[in-house]
Structure 1
C-alpha cells in the first residue's frame, strides 16, 4: 500500500486501505512506504492494549476509525478551546517533545470514552489529522510518524465511564515507564511570581518587600521573572543571551537572593536559554548557531542539535544557580526550538532530550533539591525527567482559562506538581474578584502575581484564607481522585477526593451530587454567581454539621441538620465555601 504523500481535503479522498478490528469499535489501518508494515497488539497486565508497528525504516501512517455513536467531543493536549468534534478537513495538529503529545480521547454525551490513546515515545514529531468523516459517518484519527529504526508503539485504553478515568489509566502507564524528577516539598507549595505584578519593572528592594509579605501570607517560593537580566526591558528580547543581572536593578544579586531566602522562601529565576538577541555581548560568538528567528520578538533561537550549543546552555544555567545561590529556574520558550524541525539536519526532539538531561545533571550537581519549572505546551510525559513544576500557559486574570488549562495538564501529568499561571486581579475590584481567581486555580498549586503591598485588607484576608484552605486540603486537591467532567463543558464541576474527604469546586448553577453518609467531610466551593448551592444527596444521607464562610473566610453560618436523599439548598455565598461534616 502506498503511503499518502499529498494533502487531501478530507480523509475520504485518501487512497483506500484495509482496516482491521483493534479495540472495542475502533478499527485500524497501517501504511508504510511501498511495503506492508508489520504490526500487532498485545494486552498489558493492567488491561491496556499496546500497538506495535514496524515500518521497516519508512515513515508510517496509522489510521484509526470508529462509528460516531453519540460522540460529543475530542480532547487532546493541544485542544485549547476547540474541544468539540470537528470535521476531518479541519482537525490538524503537530506535536513533539516540547509541544503537546500524540494522545487523544473521544467521548460521548454521558462523558464515557469511545477512544483513548497515547504514544509510548513522546520525543519524535508526529502530525495528526482528526475529525468527523462526513462521507463515512465515522470519527477518524490519522497519525503520521517519522521513520524509525525500531518498532513504534501506542497505548490504547478500553472504554471507560469518564475521560478522567481513561486518561488516569494512561497516565499511570506513563508513570510506570518514565522516571520522574524528584519533587521537593516547595514545588508543592503556593508560589509568588513577579511577572504580572511588575512585568520587567523590578529591582531588588521591590522584590524583597514582596518576599517578606509572601512568606507571612503563606507562600513557599518566589519566582523572579523576566526583567532581572541586563537589557531586560521594553518587552522585546533583542538583548537576551548573556544572562547576567542588570546591575542597576540588582547591584549585588547574590546578596539579594540570600535576603529573600532568609524570609523562608525558595528562590527561582526566569531564564530562556535558547533565545539569542543581537544586542547580547555573546551574539557574535553564537549567531551562526541561531540562523532562524524565534516567535519571540527580537530574538533568534539557538539550535540545540549542536553539542557546543548544549554545553554553552548548560554552563550558563549552572552558573546562574551556583553563583547566585538560586534554588532553581523557570525555563521558558523551549518550544521555540521546533523552528528547526523537518529541515533534514537531525531530530530536534532527540537533541532536546540530550540538552535537558545534561541540564538537569549539571544543575543537580550544584543543588540536589532543585526546582525546575516547565510550561505548557512542554509539560507532557516525555518531560517528567527534566522538570518538577508544570505550569499552565499564560492567561492573565482569566480564572476560567486557568481552571481549564491546569486540569488539562493534570489529566496526563506525571511526577511533577501542576501549577497555575500566576493569578492576577484588580486590587480595586470587590473581594469576590480576588477569590474567583484563587478558586479557579484550586485544583493545582496556586501561583500569585499581584502587588501584595497594594492589596486592600479584605483581599489580603481572602488570600490568606484560600491559601490556608488549599494547604489544609492539599492532599485531596493535588493527589486525590480527580473527576472534572466532560472537557467540552470546561470542567464546571470539579471533584477531588482522598482519605474520606471530597473537595468540589462548582462553577455553574446546577445541582451538585454529594455523599454525606459515605464521607467524613465534603468541602463545596461556590465559584458561581449565585449566593447559594443546590446539592443532590445521592446516598442514604446523614446528620451533618454545616459551616459556611464568605470569600474572605469570615464565618457566616454554623448549624446542624439532616441531609436526606434528594435536593437541598445551602446558603453558601458566591466565592464562598461550605463544609459538610458527617457527625452521625
Structure 2
C-alpha cells in the first residue's frame, strides 16, 4: 500500500507516475531510458564493452549541457535484495516510493546491486564520477513488477559525457562489485593514497576505553601493553583537546591540547612513538562550537547546524574554510610530531547539499559539496605529505565517506560506530570492502564486558577478522584470560593477514548478513561461519584451510569436495589452546567437526590424494 496522494502533492509518489519515456534494451535484460529536463536539449547514449564482464554507458546531450535522468528497469525475476553503500540494515527490497538517496564524495557512492535468491546479480552499476552530488531513486515498481533505478546526473564540468559503469550478471554480489572496484582503482581521479604497512596493522584506540576522560600518563601506560600485543598504531580520540569534555561538540574548533591532561603534547606523542607505535589524533575540522575561542571569527562561515549536538558546520564551498582546515590540520601534525589524523564528520558537509536549506550561501566559490571537498582534501593531502614525505602518512576516514572517490585522501577506511556489536562490525566492514579502493578497511573499535566469558571476547575479534582490528578496552586492567584471548586472536590475525586483507573475498548475499565468509589467496583460504550453515571445504583447490567458528555451537558442519586427501587437523579453543591435533582423510561429503564456539580448526593437506 502506498501513501495516499493529496491535493498538495507536487511530485509523483511512484516512478510509474512520472512522464512516460521510451525504453530500449541495455544489458542482461535491463532496459534504459535517458531524458533531459532542459528545453531544446536532447540526450543520446552508447555502451562500450570493456571486457571482463564490464561495460561503460556514456550519455551525451545535444544542444548544450543539461541535467540528465537515467532510468533503468529490470524484471523482478527471483530478486532477493538490493545492496547499495548506504543500505544499512535495509538490504532486502523496498518500494520505489521509499528508495531515495542523495550521495556525494563524502556521503556514499551512487552504486547498487540487485541480486537473486541464488546470489546471482541482475543489475550492478556505479556512476563513474564519484564526486558530484547525485540523486538516486530505487525500488520495486508495484505497477510494473520491475525493479527500477533512476539516476539524476548534473552536467559534467568539462561538458563531456556522463558515464555509468555496468557489471554484467555475475555469480555473486562480491564478484560483480570486484570488477567495479578494479575499474575505479585504474582511474586517475581514484588513484589510491599510499598504504604503509602500519595502516594494515592492529590499532589501539582510546575512544571506548576512555571516552573523553583521557590523560597523557594513562594513554602511555596503555600504549606499552598495546605494543606488546602487536598493535602498531595508537589513535587518541575525542577528549584530548581543550573544551573536549561532555558528549556534545560545543567546544570544537580550536583543536589545541587540554593543558591540564596533556601539558606537553609533543613530549607525550614522542613517548608513545618510542614504544614502536605510530600516533594519530582525532579531529573534526568542519565542526564549530559556540564555546570555542575561534567561534566569533568563524561563525559567519558556518550557518548550518550540524547533525551532531552542539555544533555548526563550516561550509567547505568557501575558500576561507578550506584554508582554515588545511592550516589547523598541518599545525597539529607539525607542532606535535603526529604520524597522521583521524578525520571525523566529513559527511556533515552535506548540510550544504544542493537541494537543502543552506544550498545558497554568500561567499562560496564552488557550488557542489563533493567538488568543494575534493579541492579541500587534495590540498590537505599535499600539505600533510610535505610534512611526512617518507610515505608513512596515515589518514583515517569513516563510513559513509569511504567510497572509490575518497581513495586518494585516506588509507585507513573505518566502519561506522557499532560499540559491542560483533554482527554490526562484520556487516559494515564487509560492506565497505565491496567498493573500497586502495585503503585498508578497519573495523569499529572493539569493546567487551570485562566480566564476560572468553568466547564473548573472541566473538568481538572474529567479527572484525576480515579487516584490520582496532582495540579499545583498558588493556592494563584485562584479566589474564581476556589478555590470553586477545593475544591469541591478534597473533592469528597477523598470521592470516595476507589472505584476509589481500585475498578474494566471497561474503554471500548481503541480506543474509554475511554469515559465511571466505577469503582465498593462492592455495590458502580462511572461512568464518556465523550461523548454523554447511561450510564447504575444497581440499583440491586449497592446501591450507582455516575455519573459524563464530557460531554459538561447539561444532562445525563441513562438506568436503574434491578428492580425499590426508589432512592435519588442529583444533583450538577461543584462547588458542589446542583441543585436538590429529590426522584425518575425510571422504567427500558431510562431516561434523568438534570446534569450540569462538575457536578454530586449521586443516593442512599433508600429501597427495588418497
Please confirm whether the aligned pair reaches a TM-score higher than 0.5, indicating the same fold. Answer: yes
Q: The residue matched to 1:385 in structure 2 has which SS?
A: helix
Q: Which residue in the other structure is 1:425 paired with?
A: 448
Q: Which residue in the other structure is 2:263 paired with?
A: 251
* Structure 1 counterpart of 2:353, from 323, 333, 341: 341
Q: Which residue in the other structure is 1:95 paired with?
A: 103
Q: Which residue in the other structure is 1:39 paired with?
A: 45
Q: The residue matched to 1:37 in structure 2 has which SS?
A: strand
Q: Which residue in the other structure is 1:530 paired with?
A: 553
Q: The residue matched to 2:395 in structure 1 has which SS?
A: strand
* Structure 1 counterpart of 2:155, from 144, 147, 150: 147
Q: The residue matched to 1:236 in structure 2 has which SS?
A: coil
Structure 2 Cα separation of the partners of residues 25 and 333 of structure 1: 40
Structure 2 Cα separation of the partners of residues 435 and 289 of structure 1: 47
- Residue by residue, what CA displacement relative to the aligned partner does 1:112-168 show, whole Å, maximum 9, x if unpaired? 000000011011111111111111111111111223333111100010000000000
Q: Which residue in the other structure is 1:215 paired with?
A: 227
Q: Which residue in the other structure is 2:387 paired with?
A: 366
Contact persistence 2:236–2:282 (CA under 8 A): yes
Structure 2 Cα separation of the partners of residues 317 and 90 of structure 1: 40
Alignment of 1:295-310 (within 5 A): 295-310=307-322
Q: Which residue in the other structure is 2:481 paired with?
A: 458
Contact persistence 2:155–2:162 (CA under 8 A): no
Q: Which residue in the other structure is 2:522 paired with?
A: 499
Structure 1 Cα separation of the partners of residues 155 and 172 of structure 2: 34
RMSD over aligned CA atoms reads 1.1
Contact persistence 1:515–1:541 (CA under 8 A): no
Q: Which residue in the other structure is 1:471 paired with?
A: 494
Q: The residue matched to 1:434 in structure 2 has which SS?
A: helix
Q: Does 1:557 align with 2:580?
A: yes
Contact persistence 1:229–1:244 (CA under 8 A): yes
Shift of 1:7: 2.6
Q: Does 1:159 align with 2:169?
A: yes
* Structure 2 counterpart of 1:136, from 134, 138, 144: 144
Q: The residue matched to 1:365 in structure 2 has which SS?
A: helix
Q: The residue matched to 1:535 in structure 2 has which SS?
A: strand
Shift of 1:386: 0.4
Q: The residue matched to 1:69 in structure 2 has which SS?
A: coil
- What TM-score does the superposition give when structure 2 sets the normalisation length? 0.94
Q: How many residues align?
A: 580
Structure 1 Cα separation of the partners of residues 595 and 52 of structure 2: 42
Structure 1 Cα separation of the partners of residues 369 and 434 of structure 2: 26
Q: The residue matched to 1:65 in structure 2 has which SS?
A: strand
Q: Does 1:7 align with 2:17?
A: no
Q: Does 1:28 align with 2:38?
A: no
Structure 2 Cα separation of the partners of residues 240 and 293 of structure 1: 13
Shift of 1:45: 4.1
Q: Does 1:351 align with 2:357?
A: no
Shift of 1:38: 2.0
Shift of 1:236: 1.3
Contact persistence 2:99–2:138 (CA under 8 A): yes
Q: Does 1:321 align with 2:333?
A: yes
Structure 2 Cα separation of the partners of residues 305 and 510 of structure 1: 50
**Structure 1 gap segments, 5+ residues each:** none
Q: The residue matched to 2:333 in structure 1 has which SS?
A: helix
Shift of 1:6: 5.0
Q: Which residue in the other structure is 1:444 paired with?
A: 467
* Structure 1 counterpart of 2:302, from 287, 290, 300: 290
Note closer, same or farther for the CA distance 1:439–1:258 as it changes in structure 2 (3 Å cut): same
Structure 1 Cα separation of the partners of residues 160 and 323 of structure 2: 29
**Structure 2 gap segments, 5+ residues each:** 1-8, 362-366
Structure 2 Cα separation of the partners of residues 541 and 11 of structure 1: 55
Q: Which residue in the other structure is 1:192 paired with?
A: 204
Structure 2 Cα separation of the partners of residues 382 and 124 of structure 1: 10
Q: The residue matched to 1:15 in structure 2 has which SS?
A: coil
Structure 1 Cα separation of the partners of residues 250 and 443 of structure 2: 28
Moved over 6 A (4+): none
